[in-house]
Amino acid sequence: MIEKGRISYLELALIMYATVVATAILYIPYVTSQHAKRDLWLSPIWGSLSGFLIVMIIVKLSKLYPGKTLIEYGELILGRTLGKIISFIYLFFLLHDTAIAFREYGEFIESAFLHKTPIIFVTGSIALSCAIAVHGGIETIGRCATIFLPIVLALYILIYVFLIPDLNVKNIFPIMQDGIMPSIKGSIAPHAWLSQFSLMSFLIPFLTNQQKVMKWGMFSVIASVLTMVFINLGNLLLFGGIISNLYFPVFEAARFISVGSFFEHIESMVIAFWVLGGFVQLSSFFYMLTLGTSQWLTLPSYKQFVLPIGFLIIIFSVWSIPSFEEMIQGMGTTMPFYFLTVQLLIPVLLLGVAVIRRKRSNSFLP
Amino acid sequence: MSCMIRPIKKTMTLMLLLCLTSIFLTGCWDRTEVNDLALILAAGIDKGKNKNIELSAQIYIPGGSQGGQQSGMSSGSSSGQSFVRSAEGETIADAMARLQEELTREVFWGQNEVLIIGEKLAKAGISDEIDFWMRHSEPRIRADVFVSKGRSKSVLGAKPELERDAAKQLRKIVKTHIGVKVTVKDLSQMLAGESAPAVLPWVEKLPPSLMDKKKEIPIINGAAIFKEGKMVGRLDDKETRGILWPRNEIKSGMITIAIDDENGYISLKLLRSHTELIPSIKNGQWSMHIKTNADLEVVQNTTKLNLFNSKVIKRSKQKVADEIEQRERLAFSEVQEKLNSDIFGFANEFQSKYPQIWKQKKDEWNEIFPQVAVSFETKVKIKRTGLATGKRQRGVEQ
């Protein structure tokens, strides 16, 4: 096997949590509020359906092919040529997805602080530090997640704890003024983010123990959804009607903190801690892509691939998205369908074929 | 031998890595040093020539090294550690660029916590100017917003006695919650509402007759009322106190009552209060019930009444409730009937309770709002009556 490291259930849940949530909290509030308006906090709940469904499919597949990732069992299920093609589509999507994640990270840092710095330096420097983690293997990323994520999670909660005096509960009323549809329309972005749970298939083979993977996968989905609901709700209570005008409500909320007129202007610290979460997310994307590519090429080791792929990601993050506006526009329109098509359709196809094959081979056997 | 080399190699790699990090930690393009920044403490915007906007900025002068610890306090307040510059431009950002031309250091908005809008600009409309504060990444949306009588520039130049500068003076006053306190965020929220009503604190200068020195000090005296993003009128101090009750913003206050046939007054201090707006629509009649709960404490009693007598307390409570309601009525007659600006957030209340009716009638809100029947219900509790009594009281054996 290419990877010798092993991770625990908790590490799996935390890595997946970071992979989904780190950029979601920045972009989800704006994108969901465009359709859902006041009901934006309901949208991630509808979005959780994708998350649950995909975790179920992926866990089922990994039960059928223990110790194999999506790239490996794709070939076993569909045969060599078709399997390679499908895996390539998935890998190419993963490259695009990773590039988008790096770009999201970069665009945020650019809009918030480093206006003049070329984005390539922002994404490039985080990619370089991620490359060290990826080179260290899955265990390194798992340990990073266990160390960093409690801090990041505490940060998400603390932002709104400090803002309690400024929160106005009345802002959430009327709930579902125009029925359920706006919140469902708003949920397409959370669907996209939560569909990234299909990436779990790259981590499951490295679990020390495999029995309770379903439980922990679901736990991770629930935690991600709750975080999104919490963040959306916190922003709604703070900003009310103007939530749909703010591109980065979480950042604005952090800037708004002022406790006792001395504990204020702390956004730099908030971002510094947030970057820890971003680091785990980007490392995990980077790792999965590197691992997947090496498995697709059936190489004995992925380590020599780390830097070239990092380079490719950075180039892709510049190529694939023309501008910030188009990225935001895409998140609310095309991106969710693209994400769901690849991340839901491919696993469903694989599971369907695998189940049919199993039944046939069983019936042929005496 | 190889055992020796390995640790050295490791240390070398570590050192190299540490040196490499310094390359990434400098932030080359966006490097900003404190001594290259012109910190804006307060900003004022006025209507300039033609359609221009005039931006005035109060800029902090970093203290020289001669200040020291001892003289820091005294020289700080008197010699003035800031100056005011202004420039005109088509937008605030444009004016800012012009302002930058006159300064040796780069303008920095991160510490700006006061925004003053000149009267003329307020009357012409402010919605466009708020965009800068919301969009630009440096100004803080927690900055307090004011409307000044006359030009905002003159307010910025004032030198108050107790505080460092005009910006600090205004921020401190607004913190006492004597008048309304509105941040850029609040203003933007209000302007986003139906018919864009807003209320901002009104800044005037304390007349020289009330001061010993011939200096002008900005104070808050009432509030400016906006509709459709334009200033339509202003409330005096008393009326402003009246709008604080339904807005649930009243934090402190003194209420003095006279009891019918008695000589003298009873003064009570407000401890806390909570106001609830209860909307209802019955047979096409829109009405709003304003329910106030207030806790007070007696601080002075110049009547001969004994405050331990429950009858006296009951009568005083009634009087206090009447007084509060009267203040609110005064404010409503001005704001609701004359100015027709929904600064109490009635629109939101109706929207949350009657979302369906609201959707149909939304466009008629301008006509509906003055017709909303307002009723009051005030519950007063007198929590304490002070520490001692200073007078002989009726009904008490001496």
Query: With 50 as the cut, is the pLDDT of residue B345 above it?
Result: yes
pLDDT number for residue B68: 43
Query: What are the tens digits of pLDDT across the range B135-190?
Result: 887 888 888 899 988 888 888 887 777 777 888 888 888 887 777 888 888 888 88
Looking at the partner chain, which of B141, B142, B192 has a beta carbon nearest the beta carbon of A241? B192
Identify the CA nearest to B235 among candidates B227, B223, B247: B223
Q: How far apart are CA B95 and CA B224, in angstroms?
A: 25
- When CB atoms are compared, the residue of B30, B140, B193 closest to A241 is B193
CA distance B75 to B80: 8
Given the DSSP bridges, would you call strands B217-227 and B230-235 parallel, antiparallel or unpaired? Answer: antiparallel
Percent pLDDT > 70 in chain A is 99
Pairing of β B82-89 and β B144-148: unpaired
Considering only the beta carbons, identify the residue of A117, A128, A173 that sits closest to B30.
A117
Share of chain A above pLDDT 90, in %: 32
Higher pLDDT: B309 or A295? It is: A295
Beta bridge partners of B84: B58
Q: What residue spans define the domains of chain B?
A: 34-63+78-235, 238-398
Ramachandran class of A298: left when φ > 0, alpha when ψ lies in -120 to 50, beta otherwise? left
Q: What is the mean pLDDT of residues A81-98?
A: 91
**By mean pLDDT, which of A235-239, B29-33, B334-338 is the weakest?**
B29-33
Residue B46, strand partner residues: B54
Residues of A with a Cβ under 8 Å from any B Cβ are: 111-118, 121, 125, 128, 170, 173-174, 177, 239-242, 245-246, 252, 255-256, 258, 261, 264-265
Q: From the CA of A243, how many Å to the nearest CA of chain B?
A: 9
Strands (E), B238-322: 254-257, 266-282, 285-301
Chain A nearest-CA distance from B144, in A, is 12
Report the share of chain B in percent with pLDDT over 70.
88
For residue A365, what pLDDT is reported?
52
pLDDT of residue A56: 92
Provide the pLDDT for residue A14: 93
Interface test with B, best of A236, A252, A268 (most B CBs within 10 A): A252
Contacts of A239 in chain B (CB under 8 A): 185, 189
Q: How confident is the model at residue A311 (pLDDT cuts 50, 70, 90)?
A: very high
Over 60: is that where the pLDDT of A53 sits?
A: yes
Q: Which residues 130-159 in chain B show a CB within 8 A of chain A?
A: 134, 137, 140-142
The 10s digit of each residue's pLDDT in B209-264 is 665 665 678 888 888 888 888 888 888 888 888 888 888 888 888 888 887 777 78
A152-166, A223-237, B4-18, B320-334: which range is least confident on average? B4-18
Q: Which of B173, B188, B342, B353 to mutate to test the interface with A (most CBs of A within 10 A)?
A: B188
Q: Which residues pair with B259 in a beta bridge?
A: none
Q: What is the mean pLDDT of residues B98-121?
A: 87
Whether CATH 1.20.1740.10 fits A9-347: yes
Segment A126-130 mean pLDDT: 90
Residue-wise pLDDT tens digits, B126-136: 888 888 888 88
Show Cβ contacts of residue B3 under 8 Å, excluding neighbours closer than 6 positions.
none
pLDDT above 80: residue A32:
yes
Neighbours of A233 (CB within 10 A): 19
Q: What's chain B's average pLDDT?
A: 81
B353–chain A Cβ distance below 8 A for any pair:
yes
> What percentage of chain B has pLDDT greater than the value 90?
0
pLDDT of B3: 58
Q: What is the CA radius of gyration of chain B?
A: 28
Largest Cα separation within chain B, whole Å, is 107
The 10 Å Cβ neighbour count of residue A328 is: 18
Domain residue ranges of chain A, discontinuous segments joined by +: 9-347
Ranking A291-305, B84-98, B346-360 by mean pLDDT, the lowest is: B346-360
Comparing alpha-carbon positions, the chain B residue that sits nearest to A242 is B189
**Residues from chain B contacting residue A170 (CB–CB below 8 Å):** 348, 352
Q: For B253-278, write each residue's pLDDT tens digit.
A: 888 888 777 778 888 888 888 888 88
Predicted pLDDT at B69: 44
> What pLDDT score was predicted for residue B307?
76
Exposed / middle / buried, residue B12 (Cβ in 10 Å: 0-12, 13-18, 19+): exposed
Q: Which residue of A has its CA nearest to B134?
A: A246
Residue, of B71 and A60, whose pLDDT is higher: A60
Point out the residue among A116, A170, A245 whose CB comes nearest to the CB of B134.
A245
Q: Is B185 in contact with A170 (Cβ distance < 8 A)? A: no
Taking alpha carbons only, the member of B149, B123, B144, B121 closest to residue B133 is B144
Give the best residue of A126, A170, A242, A256 to mutate against chain B (max B CB count within 10 A): A242
pLDDT, average across residues A68-92: 88
Please indicate whether, in this complex, the C-beta atoms of A174 and B137 are within 8 angstroms of each other: no
Amino acid at residue number B154:
S
Give the per-residue pLDDT at B127.
82
pLDDT digits (tens, 9 = 90+) for A174-233: 777 777 888 888 888 888 899 999 999 898 988 888 888 889 999 999 999 999 999 999
The sign of the CA dihedral B380, B385, B389, B394 is: positive
Candidates 3.40.50.150, 3.10.620.30, 3.30.300.210, 1.10.230.10; CATH matching B238-398: 3.30.300.210
pLDDT greater than 70 at residue A304: yes
Are A115 and B137 a contacting pair at CB < 8 A? yes
Residue B302 touches chain A, beta carbons under 8 Å: no
- On the question of pLDDT at B75 being above 70, the answer is no
Higher pLDDT, A301 or B179: A301
* A161, amino acid identity: V
User: Looking at residue A279, what is its pLDDT?
Assistant: 93
Burial track B280-315 (b if 16+ CB lie within 10 A, e otherwise): ebeeeebebebebebbbebeebebebbbeeeebbeb
Q: Which amino acid is at B240?
A: T
Q: What is the ipTM of this complex?
A: 0.79
Asked whether the CA dihedral B381, B384, B390, B394 is positive or negative, the reply is positive
